Amino acid sequence: MNRTVLVHGDGRRRAPRAVPAVSLAAVTALAVLAGCAAIPTEGPVAQGDVVLTENDALFLQVYGPDANATPEQIVRGFLSAQAAGVNEVFATAREFLTERASQEWDPYGQVTVYSGDLGLTMSHAPSADGDAEDAAPATEQPAPDLATVDQVVLSGPANVAGVVDVAGQYVEASKDARQDVSFVLTKDDAGQWRIDEVADGVLVSQPNFASVYRSTPVYFLSQDLTTLVPELRWFPQRNIATNAVRALLAGPSEWMRDAVVSGAPAGTSLSVEAVAVDSAGTASVDLTGPVLAADEDQRALLSAQLEATLQRISGVSDVALTVGGAALTVKPHPDLERDPAPAGPALGVREGTVVSLDGRQLSPVVGMPSLVSLDPTAIAVRDGVVVARLGRDRLARLATGGEVTDLLAEPGVVAPSVDRFGWVWTASERADGGLIAVRASDGMRMDVVVDWLAGQVVRQVRVSRDGARVAVLSAGPEGTQVEVAGIVRDPDGGPQRVNGSVPVGGSLASASDAAWVDEVTVAVLGDPSDGQAPGVATSVSLVPVGGQTESLQPVESADGIAAGRGKRAVYVRTGSGDLFTRSTTGTNWSLVTAGVELFTFPG
């Protein structure tokens, strides 16, 4: 029997466990979703891709096929070996293939992650002339007699969770995504079953993916060079530092391009294809010549990016930069903000009065105008700019002198979001896609055409606290979509355009509200009107921008969500005005206060 063993990073072993099986045909079916090329696991291992020491880290240790293994055992063993293959150039996985398939198979393509188990059904392989009897569905065929046949097919449905592309970007699959998959196996000259046809790339179960891969943010810079902006990537944990630096030097993904910049000069790469991490926690990054052409300010920014990226990896505390082995002179880099916290207290509305939250106490904000007769339906704040939606067709700025200044009149205007440059973002629910940005200081309006919103009705707009990205909830023929895109700005911070988007939260059934929780996570509230009866608990989810959605405990009758900084600072408001936050254990919700009509955090 093929064996799979979980091994601790310090060499301790765990007992074997069963590993689910599924076919690689799902990889091909999802190529459009994640793109093609090679997963970032290549590299001259002999030159020292470094294994970071993590006492509780696990990696998979697998073994080749046993003698006289059945087709089912061969397929399951091959899938287990694929997961471990990133650590040993897939040598064991190739033992489950015929010689021809081993030579043709390219595992360095995308990684498809599947959930649950798969019941494989064995059937006769189709004949060369496509005989109808041989090609009939497996359910209509008797199980083949393995003693009398030389070729069989194992097939079954796979539940796809997501795909990791060449750059390490994870795209979550849509809810209930399934792919029919199959393997063709044949006997070799020694009478042993081997896989004869296999698609490029690898397929990994969710438990094995969690054991082998790790997510890490790769940092770029905001256009005004004040803030670090992350892209979440997934790499094999054994060479995560090397792959993270490669990703940084290669630049941001298309959806973030032009919304961020990098201090890495074009053409800069690793001169030694490994980032070594010594026992003191210093990561040695040896770069190629183009970095020498950069001025000292650019080098300082690159150094800041590398430090921010590598120091998020376990075991790394410092970074040493060299070029061809010689130390690279870098001046002290500027203080760059990372994962900005809300600037100021949370605000809400109670009985028409603007209030701030201090612990569990709500206090009126001195000087704010009364909203009793203005029908406030949403509120946003950032750096002293307070904006309210009045009714459903009007945005107004609220000043501490009691003034109410109209900013926008638009049918079906969505709840506002104020960015750090003083622009108020919104959209019209009655328009066909597109976003609207209004400068809070003077009411200047910018209509932002967004191609990927064509045919969609925007429901919610939320700009990240770094100001470089925007999360958009929209509805269309395919249901609710949650997407994140980069914001391209002019030198003064004014929005010029929004890039193409990356889909997130693909497994969500619905979405009605959202809030940025941290630099890579959006909290999303389900739509209580999505076929649910009044009073039914509404879903609450944490959605990484490049990861798998995490479901939290639902909240009955919830209709609004807000977030401070961090996953424990998520707040949910119900239709009756009860405000809840996550308990100290993080598993349940704790009542903060009651009678809150609206609630938001700065940014």
What backbone torsions phi and psi does residue 110 show, to the nearest 5 degrees? -65, 155
Instruction: Indicate the DSSP class of residue 13.
Output: B
Token pair 């997934």 in the structure block, residue: 234
Q: What is residue 181's predicted lDDT score, i.e. its pLDDT?
A: 80
Name which of 484, 483, 486, 482 is nearest 499 in CA terms.
Answer: 486
Q: What is residue 143's predicted lDDT score, i.e. its pLDDT?
A: 79
Strands (E), 29-90: 58-62
Residue 509, Cβ density class (10 Å: 0-12 exposed, 13-18 middle, ≥19 buried): middle
Q: Could you give the CA distance from residue 192 to residue 194 in angstroms, rounded to a whole number? A: 6
pLDDT in tens, 503-562: 999 999 889 999 999 999 999 999 865 545 444 679 999 999 999 999 999 999 999 999
Q: Where are the alpha helices (DSSP H) in 341-414?
A: none
Contacts of 180 (CB under 8 A, 6+ apart): 25, 155, 156, 157, 158
Can you tell me whether residue 128 is helix, strand or coil?
coil
pLDDT in tens, 420-474: 999 999 999 887 789 999 999 999 999 999 999 999 999 999 999 999 999 999 9
Instruction: Indicate the DSSP class of residue 533.
Output: P
CA 156 to chain centre: 28
Q: What is residue 59's predicted lDDT score, i.e. its pLDDT?
A: 58
Q: What is residue 364's predicted lDDT score, i.e. its pLDDT?
A: 96
Q: What is residue 128's predicted lDDT score, i.e. its pLDDT?
A: 56
Contact (Cβ atoms closer than 8 angstroms) between residue 318 and residue 279: no
Low-confidence spans in the chain with pLDDT less than 70: 1-60, 127-141, 528-536
Contacts of 232 (CB under 8 A, 6+ apart): 169, 170, 215, 216, 217, 218, 520, 544, 545, 546, 547
Contact (Cβ atoms closer than 8 angstroms) between residue 562 and residue 524: no
The token pair that represents 352 in the structure block: 């028409």
Name which of 261, 385, 260, 361 is nearest 594 in CA terms.
Answer: 361
What backbone torsions phi and psi does residue 102 show, to the nearest 5 degrees? -65, -40
pLDDT in tens, 64-93: 999 999 999 999 999 999 988 888 889 999
Q: What is residue 454's predicted lDDT score, i.e. its pLDDT?
A: 92
